[in-house]
Structure 1
Amino acid sequence: MDEVSSLRRCAHRNVLPLLGYCGSPQAAGIVTALMRGGSLDDHLLLSPDARARLQQLGFKGTPGLSWSQRLSALCDAARALVHLHSNLILHRDVKTANILLDGALLPLQTAGGERRVYPEITRDCPRLL
């Protein structure tokens, strides 16, 4: 429930939204949108495994990104991290595999996984407020 609470605070246009969750100890889970474009990593590596993942997701376009799309994805990821940091959440696992793309190749940063809430940051770094 702590993670669900943190994810609710992360609502931002560049952060993968929380759609629902199951809090049952036997079947705990978090529901997010299916990102048919795979990860930024998939489009940068273009390996056979990456192509297979994109096909399984139902991606309809041509794998790979132009330099403009790459720059846009990185800028959007940076905006997502600024938003997370402003909510005192440090991601701790920022990498291209955690930047997911929708079917139109618009990126969203994942907020879950390796992240930690740091309420003491406000005491040590008041300028972050």
Structure 2
Amino acid sequence: MYESNLKPNQIGLAQAIFQGVSYVAPAADVAILLIITAGFAYGSTPLAVLFAWAIYFLFLNANYQFSKFTGSASGYYGYVSKSLGPTAGFITSLWYVMFQFFSLAAFGLLGFATFLYYVSPSLEKVPSI
């Protein structure tokens, strides 16, 4: 039958960090975006990166804080299901699947657009009407 609690010591700190970083900051796009950030921020690039890391930490910390009250491998939809009911949890799970689909596609498009810019910078210029 379904058990609502995780067994102790099933997920460690390393696995939690890996999961959080893999969903929040895909490495290839971050590397590309750092180059673009350096082109705009110049000497303020380290400050911009530290600010971005602080925001990422807040996202990761929110999941950690939720997990203190709800010990489950069900994720976001589990949090919603236990607080607002199973219907809201099901809707959230559908939204989560759509988010995964569209966010992965968006990261692919972002990487491709950046690649196109480096191949042909003239694509940046928008013709005037």
TM-score by length of 2: 0.28
Q: Which has the larger radius of gyration?
A: 2
The structure with more helix, counted as a fraction of residues: 2
Q: Choose between structure 1 and 2: higher strand proportion.
A: 1
RCO higher in 1 or 2 (8 Å CA, sep ≥ 6)? 1
